[in-house]
Amino acid sequence: MAKRKIIGINRELCDGCGLCTTACAEGALELDAENKAVLVREIFCDGLGACLDVCPTGALKVVEREGGAYDAGEAYRHVLKTRGPEAAGRVHGGGSGGPHRVPQGCPGSLAREIPEGPEPESEPAVSGKSRLSQWPIQLHLVSPFAPYFKGSDLLVAADCTAFALGSFHQDLLRGKKLVIACPKLDETEGYAEKLAEIIRQNGLRSLTVAIMTVPCCSGLERLVRRAVELSGEPLDVRKVVIGIDGAVVQTG
């Protein structure tokens, strides 16, 4: 068995609300005889952590440990049997064409073509000027003590956001300092601590996190919020969510 990310459950914190069991599209979680959340089978857990967003007590977290690899096919068949075909169609990597169509992989990695809308008769003039005002930008590489962070407005952006949002520089980056990260592909150990140090050392004016709508991207928001907690600073987090079609679908 190899190490991988998987859901960990603190039974003492679990209050048996059951919200995680419905949030988990793969059916990996259920309540046991003591009304506590348990992992049904390791191979049903994709490790993306959608259940973390609904847990009111903080009983769930993504941990890295040895475990069986996520099996989208088995998860699909499990949900098909226990919840029916409509629910099975929402299994990550499980497909929607029935039990004999079981492509593997994360939904955020599914190949799809994004249709272009009709061209407007006259497009508003948009500056192509870069609004990037510091280097480096990758979270692994930045220093919490870099002088440009002092008193800044900080944008923590998932790697894909700048490619999806055509007006990224103008609408999100202008006037801000930037760090980028990918919660799925990066080795994120130490990320929360480094961000916490950036917050603690620099008296930030504001903090914005920009993520995509794909499930794995929500891990970056959790990481940023954890960093604020670790820093001890009373800093609000503004969230911007961008769809794969380039539309801003949520701000706040």
pLDDT at residue 97 in the model:
43
How confident is the model over 123-165, as pLDDT tens digits?
A: 555 557 899 999 999 999 999 999 999 999 999 999 999 999 9
Spatial CB neighbours of 119, under 8 Å, sequence gap ≥ 6: none
One-letter amino acid identity for 47?
G
Compute the distance between CA of residue 199 and CA of residue 113 in angstroms, rounded to an integer.
Answer: 39
Q: What is the CA radius of gyration of the chain?
A: 20
Looking at every residue in the chain, the average pLDDT score rounds to 86
Q: What secondary structure letter does DSSP report for 138?
A: B
pLDDT at residue 219 in the model:
87
pTM, entire model: 0.65
* Averaged pLDDT, 212-230: 90
pLDDT at residue 221 in the model:
92
Q: What is the DSSP string of 107-128?
A: GGG-----PPPPPPSSPPP---
Helices 191-202 and 218-231, axial angle in degrees (round to 10): 50
pLDDT at residue 9 in the model:
95
For residues 5, 184, 175, 196, the Cα torsion angle rounded to the nearest 10 degrees is 20
Domains and CATH numbers, the chain: 3-106 (3.30.70.20), 147-251 (3.40.50)
Compute the distance between CA of residue 159 and CA of residue 217 in angstroms, rounded to an integer.
Answer: 10
* Averaged pLDDT, 184-192: 86
Contact 143, 195 (CB under 8 A): no
Q: What secondary structure letter does DSSP report for 69?
A: P
Bridge partners of 158, per DSSP, are 181
Per-residue pLDDT at 207 exceeds 60: yes
Q: Where are the beta strands (DSSP E) in 56-191?
A: 60-66, 153-158, 177-181
pLDDT at residue 228 in the model:
96
pLDDT-derived band at 98 (thresholds 50, 70, 90) equals: very low
First to last CA, the chain: 41
